[in-house]
Amino acid sequence: MVALVIALALFFDFTNGFHDTANAMATPIATGAIKPKTAVALAAVLNLVGAFLSTEVAKTVSGGIIREGSGGIQITPDIIFAGLMGAVLWNMITWLKGLPSSSSHALFGGLIGAAIAGIGFHSVNLETLLQKVILPAVFAPVIAGLVAYICTRIAYALTSRHDPETGSKLTQKRGGFRTGQIFTSSLVALAHGTNDAQKTMGIITLVLISAGTQEPGSGPQLWVIAACALAIAIGTYAGGWRIIRTMGAGLTEVKPAQGFAAESSTASAILASSHLGFALSTTQVASGSVIGSGMGRRGTTVRWGMVGRIALGWLFTLPAAGIVGALTALLVKTGIVGVVIAAVAGTGAVLYMFLVSRKSEVGHHNAVEVEEAGQAVRWAKKKALARARAAERAKNNPKDPQR
Amino acid sequence: MKWLELLTVAGATLVAAVTLVVLYSLGVRLTAIAGDRQVAAPGWVRYLAYACFGLSGIAVLFGLYLIIPYFSG
C-alpha cells in the first residue's frame, strides 16, 4: 500500500509539473521570447533546482484542513491514496480540456472527499478550508489581475514614444521586454518549484510516518526530495501544451511588454504570498495576471468566454476531485480487492484520457499558433469528440501562422 | 480571518511588481532614446539605461534572496 501511494504521489507530481508549465512559460512562448522547447527545458531545470532549495512548505502540507495528529483523526495511507486518485484524475481532465486549474486545490479536494467518505464529515475543518482555499481562490486572480493591469499601463506609458514636434508616433522599440521576459518567467518557474514539489514531498513523508517507517516530526528524506524534484521536472519538460495554448493565446493576445508585466506580477504575488504566509495558488495568480495585462493594453480584447470557462473549472476543482476521492475511499475501505479495483480503474481512466488526447494532439509545434483549435475545445463532455475532430481540422489548415 | 495578511500580500505584490516594471520600462525607453539616429542623444542616456537594467536585476535577485531559505534564514 505504501509503495502504491508513493508511486501515485510521484505521478501526481508529474501531472502537477506538466499542468503548471503554462504558468511560467505560456507568455514567453506566446510572444516568441523563448522557443517552446527551450522554454519547457528551462522551466524543468528551474523546477528541479527549486525543489531542492526549500523544504519548508513540505512540513505544512494540507496542514489543518483535515484534523490530523494527536487528539484528532489519524490519517491513513488509504485516505491519502484515495485523495491522490481524485487529484490526479482531475488534473488529467482539466489538462485534456486545456484549463489552467490549481493542482493544489485538486489535491485538497481529493483529500477532503476521501476524509469525508472514509472517516466522516467531522474530520474536515471548515474554517481552515475557507481561509486556506476558498478565499485565496477568490482574491488571487483579483490581486494579480489588478497589479498586472497597473503594470501594463505603466510599461506602455513609460515606453510610448512620440515625436515632440509633430506628435506622430516614433518607432516604439519595445523589443527589450522580450529579453526581460526570459528572466521574469524563469523566476516564476523557480518559485513554482519551491512551492509545488513540496506538496508531494509532504504527502510522501506523511505516508512514511503513518506507516511507521519514519520518525514523526522529521523532514522529508533525501531520496524523497530527489524523486519529487525529478518527477516535477520531467512533468514540466513533457509540457502541458494544451494549457500553454489557453494561457498564451486563448485568453488574450500577448505582446512582450504585457508578458513582462504579467510575469512580474505573477512572480511578485507568489513571492509575496509565500513569504508573508497567505498562500495563493500559482495557477490562479498567473491566469489573473494574463487577464489583467490583457485589459491593460488598449486595443486588446479579453476572451471572457474562455475566462468564464476557466472560472467554472476552478469552481468544480474542489468538489470534483472530492467526489473521485470519496468514491476511491469507499472502494479502498472494502479491503484489498477494492484497492486493486481502484488502482486498475484509475490507471484505465488516465490511459483513456491519454488516448483521447492523441486524437487532437497539441505539441510544441502548434501550441500557440492555432487559436481556433483552442476555442474548439469545449466543456461539454458529449461534444468533446466532435470538437476534437474540429480541432484537428483547424490544426491541419492553420489560419494565421504567426511565425 | 486574516484580512491584514491579505492586504499585506496585495500591497507587497503591487510595490514589487511596479518597481520592477518601472525600472525595466525606463531601461527600455532610455535604450530606445540612446539608439536614435536622427537626434544625437547625450552619452549618459545609455549608461542610465544600463543602470536601470542593473537595478531591476538587483530587485529580482532580492526576490530570490527572499524565497531561498538558505539565505534569509
Q: Tell me, yes or no, if B37 comes closer than 8 A to chain A by beta carbon.
A: no
Helices A103-118, A77-96: crossing angle, 10 deg rounding: 140
The pLDDT value recorded for residue A403 is: 40
> CA nearest A191 in B: which residue?
B67
Residues from chain A that touch B1, judged by Cβ atoms under 8 A, are 131, 135
A268, A273, A281: best mutation site toward chain B, by most B Cβ within 10 Å? A268
Mark yes or no for CB contact A151/B16 under 8 Å.
Answer: no
Mark yes or no for CB contact A135/B31 under 8 Å.
Answer: no
Query: For chain B, which residues make up each domain, given as ranges?
Result: 19-72
Mark yes or no for CB contact A161/B66 under 8 Å.
Answer: no
Residues from chain A that touch B63, judged by Cβ atoms under 8 A, are 187, 267-268, 271
Query: For chain A, which residues make up each domain, given as ranges?
Result: 2-161+171-346
B4, B13, B19: best mutation site toward chain A, by most A Cβ within 10 Å? B13
Task: Concatenate the DSSP letters of all residues of A35-51 into one string.
Answer: -HHHHHHHHHHHHHHHH
Mark yes or no for CB contact B20/A174 under 8 Å.
Answer: no
Which residue, chain included where needed, has cell 503594470? A151
Give the cell for residue B2: 486574516
Say what the ipTM of the complex is. 0.82
Q: Which of B6, B13, B25 has the CB atom closest to A147's CB atom?
A: B13
Mark yes or no for CB contact A278/B32 under 8 Å.
Answer: no
Which residue, chain included where needed, has cell 495511507? A77
Mark yes or no for CB contact B32/A159 under 8 Å.
Answer: yes
Higher per-residue confidence, B43 vs B18: B18
Residues from chain B that touch A296, judged by Cβ atoms under 8 A, are none
- Secondary structure of residue A73 in the 3-state scheme: strand
- Secondary structure of residue A124 in the 3-state scheme: strand
Opening angle at CA A270, ends A11 and A87, nearest 5:
25
The pLDDT value recorded for residue B71 is: 62
Question: Which residues on adjacent β-strands are paired with residue A162?
Answer: A169
Task: Concatenate the DSSP letters of all residues of A260-291 into one string.
Answer: HHHHHHHHHHHHHHHHHT----HHHHHHHHHH
Q: Are A11 and A236 in contact (CB under 8 A)?
A: no
> CA nearest A148 in B: which residue?
B17
Question: For each of chain A's 403 residues, which pLDDT tens digit applies?
Answer: 778 888 888 888 888 888 888 878 888 888 877 888 888 888 888 888 887 776 665 555 545 555 555 445 566 778 888 888 888 888 888 888 778 888 878 888 888 888 888 777 777 777 767 776 777 778 888 888 899 888 888 888 887 776 666 555 556 666 678 888 888 888 888 878 777 777 788 788 877 877 777 766 666 778 888 888 888 888 888 767 778 888 777 777 778 888 888 888 888 888 777 766 666 778 888 888 888 888 888 777 778 888 888 888 888 888 888 888 888 888 877 777 777 777 787 788 778 877 777 766 666 666 555 333 333 333 334 444 555 555 555 555 554 444 4
Q: Which of B12, B18, B68 has the CB atom closest to A151's CB atom?
A: B18
Give the cell for residue A358: 492523441
Q: Are A371 and A394 in contact (CB under 8 A)?
A: no
The pLDDT value recorded for residue A173 is: 65
Burial class (CB in 10 A: 0-12, 13-18, 19+), A333: middle
A-facing residues of B in 14-33 (CB < 8 A) are 14, 16-18, 20-22, 24-29, 31-32
Taking 60 as the threshold, does the pLDDT of residue B18 lie above it? yes
Give the cell for residue A223: 531520496
Cβ neighbours for A76, distance < 8 A, ≥ 6 positions apart: A118, A210
